[in-house]
A = this chain, B = another copy of it.
Amino acid sequence: MTVLDQQLLKSETKKFTFGYAPDHFILESGEKIGPVTLAYETYGKLDKKRTNAILVAHALSGDAHVARNQKENNNPGWWDNLIGPGKGIDTNKYFVICSNIIGGCMGSTGPSSINPQTGYEYGIDFPMISIGDMVNAQKLLIDNLGIEKLLTVIGGSMGGMQVLQWMIAYPERIRSSIPIATTMKHTPQQIAFNEAGRQAIIADPNWKKGQYYSSRVPAKGLAVARMIGHITYMSEISMSEKFGRRFKRRKEPYKFGAEFEVEGYLRYCGDNFVKRFDANSYLYLTKAIDYFNILNGKRLARIFKGLKAKVLVIAFKSDWLYPAHQSQEIVKACKLSGVDTTYCEIKSTYGHDAFLLEIEEEEHLIKHFLNTVTNGSNNGVEKPETDLHEN
């Protein structure tokens, strides 16, 4: 682990390490790696029967700190409004686990970790990883926690891809699943946005083919990559509402300083991201997303065949990065495979970011859905106000 990792690793974050030599962790590509550490956090208590565990999968830039940990770290988590005592995912009832992914830079083994073979950071000697590898690693963590069956696995965006992967890789290990604002395969347009970001990083002379850990990081390239990402996370409407064309000529050392508010915002987002994220992780994780394709030529009716879990698919109307039609395709595949599926398209102007922002709507849906999964029925559970079948 680098110094950066150690700083970022919050005090209450636990660690799970596996894949010691000679039994290294085998990746989908066939390559081996080990040892592998996953940083993870838990909230609430696992019940005696170990049936109340919920796994939360995070998105591209997320980490294990999904909620407040009352005792150790009271900083808000990235899904703080949704997860906690008395909240939509009630940690008085459920045992919530969130682990940082393999390939990441928030405490788990990734390109910024020390390669035990060399004593230096992996850089781009780190093997290519896939969403399948992330889920296989999470499954070892779940095994280690002694949980045979998760009550649910939930996540948005890249987190949603991990949810879908759980549904096809370990269908017997989940009672339900909640993929949010996601897709079964990355389209060329989605790949293209990621590729433009990667090229911005690679074009930065500080990148040095990934070996920058003892010198300057490719901050400018990573900032541009994040800017591109941010545009795709918002919507035309949310940008217009947030910024309009508000304008301020600033005194800059040279021309082309930020004038429009949206320019200043993007620069702020880019610069801020550089402080907390590793550029090589950005390359690896976006590649994992681009490779993701659980369809892979299969018929829709075959994808989730035999899955007994209940599924709640959530999409957002103004999300143009993972548009609702991609969630509808998931629903179609589930229904054709005979899976008990509920679909909800939430009205929102926030674009893709809605999955982190439209908490009130999500909370209602998820609370209700978890009750039906736990109770096996709808009895005594308040109906959510949102129309579950809106389309």
Contacts and interface: CB of A to CB of B under 8 A. Distances in A.
Interface of A: 124, 128, 185-189, 191-193, 195-196, 198-200, 202-205, 209-210, 220-221, 223-224, 227-228, 230-231, 234-236, 239-240, 242-245, 254-256, 258, 260-263, 266-267, 270, 283, 287, 290, 293, 320, 323
B196 A239 contact: no
A199 B267 contact: yes
A189 B236 contact: yes
B187 A199 contact: no
Contacts of A191: 245, 260, 262-263
A193 to B, nearest CB: 6
Contacts of A192: 227, 230-231, 239, 262-263, 266
A266 B197 CA distance: 12
Contact of A242 (B188, B204, B258): B188
A266 B203 CA distance: 14
Contacts of A230: 192
A258 B195 CA distance: 9
21 contacts: A185-B245, A187-B236, A187-B240, A188-B240, A188-B262, A189-B234, A189-B235, A189-B236, A191-B260, A191-B262, A192-B262, A192-B266, A195-B263, A196-B231, A198-B256, A203-B223, A205-B205, A209-B254, A210-B255, A224-B224, A260-B290
Q: How many copies, total?
A: 2
- 5 closest cross-chain pairs (CB), A and B: A203-B220, A188-B239, A188-B262, A188-B243, A196-B227
A126 to B, nearest CB: 9
Contacts of A128: 255
Contacts of A196: 224, 227-228, 231, 266
A192 B228 CA distance: 8
Contacts of A245: 185-188, 191, 293
A223 B124 CA distance: 23
Contact of A256 (B220, B224, B256, B283): B283
Contacts of A239: 187-189, 192
Interface centre among A220, A224, A323 (most CB of B within 10 A): A224
A286 to B, nearest CB: 10
A221 B243 CA distance: 26
A314 to B, nearest CB: 21
A263 B198 CA distance: 10
Nearest to A220: B203
Contacts of A195: 227, 258, 260, 262-263, 266
Given A124-B255, A228-B228, A231-B189, A223 B236 contact: no
Nearest to A255: B124
A185 to B, nearest CB: 7
Contacts of A236: 187, 189, 323
A204 to B, nearest CB: 7
A156 to B, nearest CB: 20
Contact of A199 (B209, B210, B224): B224
A128 B256 CA distance: 10
A334 to B, nearest CB: 22
